[in-house]
Amino acid sequence: MTGVRVAGVGLTHFGKHPERTGRDLFAEASERAFADAGVDRADVEQLNFGNFMGELSEHQGHQGPLMAEAAGLTAPATRYESACASSGVAVREAVKDVRNGEADVMLVGGAERMNNLGTAGTTEALAIAADDLYEVRAGMTFPAAYALMARAYFEQYGGSREDLAEIAVKNHDNALENEFAQFQRAITVEDALEAPTIADPLGLYDACPITDGASAAVLVSDEYAEEHGLDAPVSITGTGQGGDKMALQDRRFLARTPAAERAAEEAYDDAGIGPQDVSVAEVHDCFTIAEVLAVEALDFYAPGEGIGAAARGETTRDGDRPVNLSGGLKAKGHPVGATGTSQVVEMTRLLRGDHPNSDAVPGEIGVAHNAGGTVASTTVHVLEVDR
């Protein structure tokens, strides 16, 4: 079984681009990925593309071949949909295909156009990732769902809004030098605490923004990289996926995310490492409480101990294990279908040394944690760099 290398990566700026189409955004991201990889488009054997709400935001389904055309490919293409984990799943399936010899070269990525719908329209579109019959029709939105999870966490383990504010401050600081980030401005704990409440105990700065953007990565087999003399020092050495019941009321836990726990365990086993070996992480912080749940699910912390990690300086850029050096979804942005691949893109740049925050990476192994809905779907990928 061959190894899988990240030959090249590309992003658009994450932000407000309501006038641009999804295909336009993905064309830009894929162009950058091919330029970075030095791989001929004619060698690409398959495209895996992640997108969640294209039918609602652009009245466009069947996006696989559309995005292949935008990327300048004639290869077969498949769209993957798993809510906010859409392109995380696309990456996982691409890794499996390269390992199994189905392809030596694959393009994987995702895109989402959201701002053209406006805040109310985007909120309604995102809500279809929840249980329509038992959650959405009762008025559930994702800020409300994560607020319930935060309240359950506080009740079971303790914690405060100040602890969550520290996460927001950290991730905004990390995004300052990231040219692709939506928010490149610092905030303070006071800013976060004084912001309007969106769903108690979550305030405005506890939530990620509405984002347009695209991401892409060229994955190749070890053999292809060697034969073509590619400079591709980063490999995806582990992959895992987990699932849980859709509706919160059907779950055993509100203050834990078993889907992510299972995905992490599978990814670690696949890579032959343990959580203690991981030096840096990109996690799915759609809300600040989600970062807490993620670092615990990844087994960096026992349940109840992750809440104060940012305040203690353990997950900051100067900490022993920095989390979300890209700025995370919180500040980098969250174009839903693009997010999973964008985490792999950012981790690749961080590990190989060409990210503005690469100097904060204390080791050679990173993980990317991508979640869908209220973590009913999760992927975790382990990336390692050859020094």
Q: How far is CA 359 from CA 64, 280, 345, 353, in A?
A: 37, 12, 17, 7
Q: Is the dihedral of CA 64, 66, 72, 74 positive or negative?
A: positive
Q: CA dihedral defined by 42, 94, 57, 33, rounded to 10 degrees?
A: -50
Give the contacts of 111 (CB within 8 A, at least 6 positions apart): 22, 23, 25, 26, 29, 49, 50, 51, 67, 213, 214, 215, 335, 337, 338
Q: CA dihedral defined by 221, 224, 228, 229, rounded to 10 degrees?
A: 40
DSSP-assigned letters across all residues of 318-364: TSSS-B-TT-HHHHH---GGGHHHHHHHHHHHHHHT-STTGGG--SS
Instruction: Tell me which amino acid residue 341 is.
Output: T
Whether 208 is a known active-site residue: answer no
The catalytic position among 284, 334, 355, 369 is 334
Q: Which residues of 134-145 are buried (b: 16+ CB within 10 A; e: fewer)?
A: ebbeeebbbbbb
Whether 334 is a known active-site residue: answer yes
The catalytic position among 84, 172, 284, 286 is 84
Q: Name residue, tokens 């305040």.
A: 311
Positions marked active-site:
84, 334
